[in-house]
Amino acid sequence: MKTVAQNKKAFHEYEILDKYEAGMALAGSEVKSIRAGRINLKDSFVEIQNGEAFLLRCHISPYEQASIFNHEPERKRKLLLNRREIHRLDQKVKTRGFSIVPLQVFLTDKGLFKIEIALVRGKREYEKRQKIKERDIQREMDRDVQRFKSKK
């Protein structure tokens, strides 16, 4: 498994409750562009319409060598999930006000691109600050331990 792109903003902005792995219906020029690492998940999200899951606002840059057969950079892309998973996600999003966001795109051993999506709930501002504070404290403790080990 090789990670091609990550949505670091999602880990900061949201509390991740449940993760799913889905396939993507892609055009040939999109596959070439993703292999080159030209994908951005930053502001993208997943929406369920008529019993199907779609990835919206995911930017995949056009592939230069594709000429007239190129794709639209921010088109709606279908996600390949089980009907049961789609129904479960749809029910949670409708009833409890959760969202579905992509976390990462990765290449499998068989050469297929998969996307990891998550059911999330937005964090409050004070939760984000608390998380940053904890990370800084942990970093300082690790630095002190390293200094202590190097003195011995």
- In this predicted structure, the answer to whether residue 69 has a pLDDT above a threshold of 80 is no
Residue of higher predicted confidence among 73 and 46: 46
Radius of gyration of the chain (CA): 19
- Closest C-alpha among 58, 62, 64 to residue 25: 58
Cα–Cα distances (Å) from 29 to 4, 68, 115, 135, 152, in that order, read 16, 10, 18, 40, 56
pLDDT at 27: 82
User: Which of the four pLDDT bands, split at 50, 70 and 90, describes residue 152?
Assistant: low
Token pair 């969202």: residue? 99
Task: Compare 61 and 54 and report the one with higher pLDDT.
Answer: 54
The answer to whether residue 64 scores a pLDDT higher than 80 is no
Q: Which tens digits make up the pLDDT trace of 10-59? A: 988 899 999 999 999 988 888 888 888 889 998 899 999 999 999 999 99
Instruction: Please choose, from the candidates 24, 11, 56, 61, the residue with its C-alpha nearest in 3D space to the C-alpha of residue 39.
Output: 61
- Where along the chain do its domains lie? 2-123
CATH number of 2-123: 2.40.280.10
Is the Cβ–Cβ distance between 43 and 70 less than 8 Å? no
- Between 96 and 14, the more confident residue is 14
